[in-house]
């Protein structure tokens, strides 16, 4: 029984300590400086090696980018599916979407450098890298669409907004939390509760009448 939800696409020696360190520091630097502005000398320096040594572990800067992007979105997808799959079969749509929100936030905020790097640089990377990454993004969007369509058919979702707009709005709002979430202000569980409540029921009280 494999503990992992997904197979690893990497080759056999793909997860040596320094290799992982390079990815981690690259994610952190991509996040804060952008892809183009991050130099391999900086990455190497942060990882405690010299620039030339990177090329023992990776073929190019582009390959590092690809793996950083994948790590980011896979962390989110994993956390979401784990929580949704753990629900009983008779769970309501609201419970399923709540589980997805919690998973999304957990994956997002607990792998901040990878997920933030993904979100921030995706719109700015070379087209080839974007094309390679597009498929997995599409699959994750489809997963949410199925969740929301199910909620709509069960009569739990608002019928007057399209599920596409709801998905884009909600995922966008969740993604943005990585820009402002502060773990020092209250517990993660409280945070999830507040965000979930706003997503479900909005920010204003219902109008009288």
Partner DNA sequence: GTCTATACCTCGATAGAC
Partner DNA sequence: GTCTATCGAGGTATAGAC
- Which residues lie near its own copies (CB under 8 A)? 31-37, 94, 97, 120-121, 123-124, 151, 155-158, 160-162, 165-166, 168-170, 172-173, 175-177, 179-180, 194-195, 197-207
Q: Are 85 and 103 in contact (CB under 8 A)?
A: no
User: Which DSSP string do the residues of 102-137 spell out, in sequence order?
Assistant: HHHHHHHHHTHHHHHHHHHHGGGS-HHHHHHHHHHH
b/e per residue, 90-119, with b = 16+ CB within 10 A?
Answer: eeebeebbbbbbbbbbbbbbebbbbbbbbb
Q: How far is the CB of 130 from its own copies (least distance, A)?
A: 11
**Of DNA, its own copies, none, which one sits near residue 61, judging by CB under 5 to 8 A according to partner kind?**
DNA
Task: Rank residues 64 and 151 by Cβ distance to its own copies and give the closer one.
Answer: 151
CB 54 within 8 A of CB 143: no
Pick what 82 binds: its own copies, DNA, none; C-beta below 5 to 8 Å, kind-dependent: none
Shortest distance, CB of residue 41 to DNA, whole angstroms?
5
Closer of 4 and 158 to its own copies (Cβ): 158
Residue given tokens 């498929």 in the structure block = 135
Q: Shortest approach of DNA to residue 34 CB, angstroms?
A: 11
What is the signed CA dihedral for 41, 45, 48, 50, rounded to 10 degrees?
Answer: 30
With CB under 5 to 8 Å by kind, the binding choice for 134 among DNA, its own copies, none is none
Q: How far is the CB of 158 from its own copies (least distance, A)?
A: 6
198 binds, among its own copies, DNA, none (CB under 5 to 8 A by kind): its own copies
207 interacts with, out of DNA, its own copies, none, CB within 5 to 8 A per kind? its own copies
Residue 59 or 160: which CB sits closer to DNA? 59
Q: How far apart are the first and last CA of the chain?
A: 56
Do the Cβ atoms of 24 and 46 come closer than 8 Å?
Answer: no
Please answer whether residues 191 and 102 qualify as being in contact, where contact means their C-beta atoms are separated by less than 8 angstroms: no
Rounded least distance, CB 8 to DNA, Å:
17
């Amino acid at each position: 029984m494999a503990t992992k939800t997904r197979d690893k696409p990497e080759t056999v020696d793909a997860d040596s300590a320094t290799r992982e360190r390079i990815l981690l520091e690259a994610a952190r630097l991509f996040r804060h400086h952008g892809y183009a502005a991050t130099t391999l000398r900086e990455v190497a320096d942060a990882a405690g090696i010299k620039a030339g040594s990177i090329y023992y572990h990776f073929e190019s800067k582009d390959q590092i980018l690809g793996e950083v992007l994948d790590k980011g979105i896979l962390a989110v997808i994993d956390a979401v599916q784990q929580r949704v799959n753990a629900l009983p079969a008779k769970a309501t749509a609201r419970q399923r979407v709540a589980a997805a929100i919690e998973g999304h936030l957990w994956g997002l905020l607990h792998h901040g450098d990878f997920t933030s790097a993904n979100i921030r640089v995706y719109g700015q990377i070379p087209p080839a890298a974007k094309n390679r990454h597009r498929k997995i993004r599409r699959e994750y969007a489809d997963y949410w669409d199925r969740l929301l369509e199910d909620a709509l058919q069960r009569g739990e979702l608002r019928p007057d907004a399209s599920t596409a707009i709801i998905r884009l709005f909600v995922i966008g709002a969740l993604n943005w939390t990585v820009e402002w979430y502060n773990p020092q202000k209250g517990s993660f569980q409280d945070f999830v509760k507040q965000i979930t409540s706003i997503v479900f029921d909005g920010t204003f009280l219902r109008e009288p009448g």
